[in-house]
Chains A and B, each alone.
Chain A
Amino acid sequence: MDTTKLTIKEARSLLDSRKISVTELTRTYLDRIKTYDDKIDSYLSVCGESALEQASEAQKLIDSGKGEMLCGIPLSIKDNICIEGTPTTCASKMLENFVPPYTATAVNKLRAQNSVILGKVNLDEFAMGGSTENSAFKKTKNPFDTTRVPGGSSGGSAASVSASLALGSLGSDTGGSVRQPAAFCGVVGLKPTYGLVSRYGLVAFASSLDQIGPIGKTVEDCAIILDGICGQDPKDGTSLSYEAGASYASAVSGGIKDYKIGLPKEYLTEGLNSEVRNALYKSIETLERLGAKVEEFSMPSLKHAVPAYYLMSSAEASSNLSRYDGVKYGYRAENCRSFNELIGRSRAEGFGREVKRRILLGTYALASGYYDAYYKKALKLRTLISQGFDEAFSKYDVVLHPTTPETAFKLGQNTDDPLSMYLADIYTVSANIAGLPSISLPCGYDANGLPIGLSFTGKPLGEREILRAAATFEADFAPEFRVPVL
């Protein structure tokens, strides 16, 4: 069967009408992984045996008419999301042999619906990076051009969905880590409102910014996965209590007639690649043709989003990653004669360069004497940026912007230039800073045939508005939509 254009929704109807079995579907994906993942390198571990067991359980439920929306749907999980008994490495030598005795709430919820977990996929070490090149184990390739990066840090998630090595995936997004790789790999990625999905079991990078999000082939697929993983969790004190309402999957229809869409001027600066800019303007025309009103607005605080983001995220990371000290689990340096040597050498040998860079940056930002100048200022910017968005959403239903300033770059191109790597996050970090939902979907392809991403950002808990805008655009864009040729 051709899975390259298969969506969760289509798979659902194939499964429910018994045209295929869950085992057949699962085997198809496992076979594709065997055939193509040597080329893409998206998986860090494949759970073939347990996936087939889960498949036959799911089939029983379907046969008894009790299968829910995600029952029997084969998914991949970013390897910083814990699954009991399965290695969770965070693509770090530090956690190479770490097997958690607990499962992330989001995965528990997927399993409660009898989704099939195909395996764990690659990322930048501890989710720090935008190319998945910072993995300690392998470099994932972009399915549209294997000489290029898939983006990051959820590069394994985006590549596995793009290459049809999974029907959908869970990634995590701290500053764009779901949306940017989705854009690079020509798929859809959604970062939910902070607190909509439990973070329990997601290995923390920057706690106040991290959020688990779905990656799928379509907007509706992302909505379906979001329906499966959202909800308040007693194990996460920052998860939101909110009125549930209708499913997110049902929010995709209805069109965008009379939608008011804002476009921040600050995002249209010289760093924006001309092909991406052209695709953005073409998209605006499409949106207007579909009945929306698009206008530019100014939000000066956005200019400071990247430095504010790197200060906050690195500060929190420096603290969150302190627990990897070689004492209880994870990498431990050998032949140490003191605690200080044990911790120093374990961390020096166990962490990669980018992780160490952020730990140093964050430690510095929090040091007494520098706190007010850096971390505290970043917190003030956070307030300013949130206020700016509040104001914008008093005028607009959604905010529109490019997902990235450029399309996927060559492997190795930016590895020695952290600053330009950081600037690649320029359009995505503000949604994390303000805790807003944001979705990226394909809106065009550049001269090299590389996908270009378009983002809609919504007000807190405004998932329905951005899903509807994105799905409406997507339906119109469908004839141009491409899948990679492997």
Chain B
Amino acid sequence: MKYIPTIGLEIHAELSTKSKIFCDCPVGFGGEPNTRCCPVCTGMPGTLPVLNKTAVEYTVKAGLALNCQINEFSKLDRKNYFYPDLPKAYQISQFDLPVCKDGGLTINTPEGEKFIRIERIHLEEDAGKLLHDSYDNYSLADYNRCGVPLIEIVTKPDLSSSDEAREFVEKVRLMLLYSGISDCRMEEGSLRADVNVSIRPVGTDKLGTRTEMKNINSIRGIARCIDAEIERQSELLDEGEAITQETRRWDDNKGESKSMRSKEDAHDYRYFPEPDVVPISFTKQQIEALRHSLPELPNKRFAKYTADFGLSETDANLLLTSVSLSDFFESTAKECGNPKAASNFIIVEVLRRLNDSGLAAEAIPFGGNVLGRLLKMVDGEEITAANAKKVLADMFDTGMEPEAIVAGKGYKVINDTGEVENTVREILAANEKAVAEYLEGKEKTFGFLMGQCSRALAGRGNPKVVQDILRSELNRLKGSC
């Protein structure tokens, strides 16, 4: 490649608080327009914002999860601009004293590990949405999203490819998910990003002119947008043209961006301290208490899964894709005492079931500890692995306890060798032809006889015991010939 790209991200994540940042309206997605708003979040004359404490604490948690320093003193500021989806004509945001600063995350690149610095994380309110009707030439405003708490995570320009950006956003997303502060549902717009891209010729140090692409709401879109912009800028430089510093609008359907406004047209937001909300302050003790309240984060869990549990990296990553799945796995592993078996059974059997029914891990109708009890029965050779799968199906379908299903269906392994011996002898007596073939040396027939025995035992025979008895019975017949 002739050019080195420099990429920075501004990731916006909606916080999953129950109510909005400055009023009691519920936070939600979809629904009838203008049903989740009130005089406060629509900025009616005389109303005042009252800061939601939980939103601030969530911001601190995000900062701690992303290795940031927490400012003991921070404040909110007004960002002034006119737009019909912004009912106060200013957004309450943070300017020079954000809640979190100086953090970052390590990502894996083909060249090895790389630390991507996070400059700041600040708290702000979301705006509403406009619905344009180009046919009738009017626009409608939906203020449901107004005042939904958002954090904006601003990176240093440390990323150099779309792959790195994708990896970084995925990692950030997981960290936020595990911190329990955001749903990060990109398809619902609860995680979106602005992308800054510049390129410079190989062998030079001076950064090129950057462009900014706004409001991209998928990880795939972020990667495609970066690639398209690197290509667009490269073509311009190849032709000896200059890059214009500008904001561009990314069209994910067309896979291309269009100029929105140039630097000259950039807004002067006239930031100033928000007089209606008193500054935010935290003591060191409060910050530490929030740190302790964080659940175990995915990087720690990954290390535990691979190093302590002996799982493959692929399996560990698979289990970590959702908080519920990872929690479910840990609870299964803890109950059955065999993480490896728990991982295998969950990845193969539970995930298949979820995929077939199109369900997420949250929808599993029983706890990980309940599955753990089932796997403990398999480990203890109380039921066979084959029957365990049938029990799992019943657990999904009926929600019944595994012990009850095993008892009801009679899956309990028969450990009484006398009963097994009797069955084996009956089978051998009833299959004289097969026995004869086996005795003539056709080893294949053993499998057939084994199958017959299992069926007669209704799958409850401990396969090893059945096999041993069948073998010794056949040997006895061989000897007596």
Contact = CB atoms under 8 A, between A and B. Distances in A.
Interface of A: 80-82, 88, 90, 95, 98, 100-102, 104, 199-204, 206-208, 234-238, 315-316, 318-319, 322-323, 325, 327-329, 339, 343, 363, 366-368, 371, 375
B81 to A, nearest CB: 9
| Max count, chain B CB within 10 A of own CB: residue among A206, A325, A343 | A325
B418 to A, nearest CB: 77
Interface string B79-90: 010111001111
Contacts of B107: none
A202 B50 CA distance: 15
A335 to B, nearest CB: 13
Contacts of B42: 328
Given A207-B275, A316-B275, A90 B87 contact: no
Nearest to A198: B48
B44 A200 contact: no
A140 B400 CA distance: 79
Contacts of A88: 45-46
Of the candidates B43, B50, B90, B272, the one having the most CB atoms from chain A within 10 angstroms of its own CB is B272
Interface of B: 39, 42-51, 78, 80, 82-84, 87-90, 139, 141, 268, 270-272, 275-278
Contacts of A323: 43, 45, 87-89
Nearest to A202: B46
B48 A366 contact: no
Given A322-B90, A366-B80, A201 B46 contact: yes
Between A200, A236, A322, the greatest number of chain B beta carbons within 10 A of the residue's beta carbon is seen for: A322
A322 B45 contact: no
Q: Which of A199, A235, A327 has the most CB of B within 10 A?
A: A327
22 contacts: A88-B45, A101-B44, A200-B47, A234-B50, A236-B48, A237-B49, A237-B277, A237-B278, A238-B275, A238-B276, A316-B272, A319-B78, A319-B80, A319-B270, A319-B272, A323-B45, A325-B89, A327-B84, A328-B87, A328-B141, A371-B270, A375-B272
A235 B45 contact: no
A200 B87 contact: no
Contact of B272 (A82, A234, A315): A315
A200 B80 contact: no
A199 to B, nearest CB: 6
A371 B268 CA distance: 11
The 3 closest A-B pairs by CB, nearest first: A322-B89, A208-B275, A366-B270
A203 B39 CA distance: 12
B270 A368 contact: yes
A207 B276 CA distance: 6
B270 A104 contact: no
Contacts of B83: 339
A322 B82 contact: yes
Given A101-B39, A371-B272, 14 more contacts: A80-B46, A95-B45, A100-B45, A235-B48, A235-B50, A237-B277, A238-B275, A238-B276, A238-B278, A316-B272, A318-B80, A319-B90, A325-B84, A328-B141
A375 B50 CA distance: 25
A343 B47 contact: no
A202 B141 CA distance: 26
B48 A98 contact: no
B46 A100 contact: yes
A238 B51 CA distance: 11
A206 B272 CA distance: 13
A169 B270 CA distance: 36
A178 B454 CA distance: 96
Contact of B45 (A82, A207, A237, A368): A82
A237 B272 contact: no
Contacts of B45: 82, 88, 90, 95, 98, 100, 203-204, 323
A339 B49 contact: no
Contact of B46 (A204, A319, A322, A367): A204
Contacts of B44: 100-102, 329
A315 B49 CA distance: 19
B270 A363 contact: yes
A325 B81 CA distance: 11
B412 to A, nearest CB: 61
Nearest to B23: A235
A272 B50 CA distance: 42
A388 B24 CA distance: 40
B48 to A, nearest CB: 5
Contacts of A238: 48, 275-278
Contacts of A315: 272
Nearest to B49: A237
Contacts of A329: 44
B222 to A, nearest CB: 29
A201 B87 CA distance: 17
A154 B111 CA distance: 70
Given A100-B44, A102-B44, A203-B46, A343 B51 contact: no
Nearest to A208: B275
A315 B277 CA distance: 17
A239 B51 CA distance: 13
Contacts of A318: 80, 270
Given A200-B47, A322-B80, A325-B82, A366 B272 contact: yes
Nearest to A340: B82
Interface centre among A95, A98, A366, A367 (most CB of B within 10 A): A366
A367 B268 contact: yes
Contacts of B89: 319, 322-323, 325
Contacts of A339: 82-84, 139
Contacts of B271: 366, 371
Contacts of B50: 234-237
Contacts of A201: 46-47
Contacts of A100: 39, 44-46
A237 B48 contact: yes
A81 B45 CA distance: 10
A237 B276 contact: yes
Contacts of A236: 48, 50
Contacts of B139: 339
A207 B274 CA distance: 9
Interface centre among B51, B89, B270 (most CB of A within 10 A): B270
A346 B48 CA distance: 24
- With most chain B CB atoms within 10 A of its CB, the pick from A80, A90, A200 is A200
B48 A200 contact: yes
Given A102-B44, A203-B46, A236-B48, A368 B268 contact: yes
Nearest to B44: A100
A200 B46 contact: yes
A102 B39 contact: yes
Contacts of B46: 80-82, 88, 100, 102, 104, 200-204
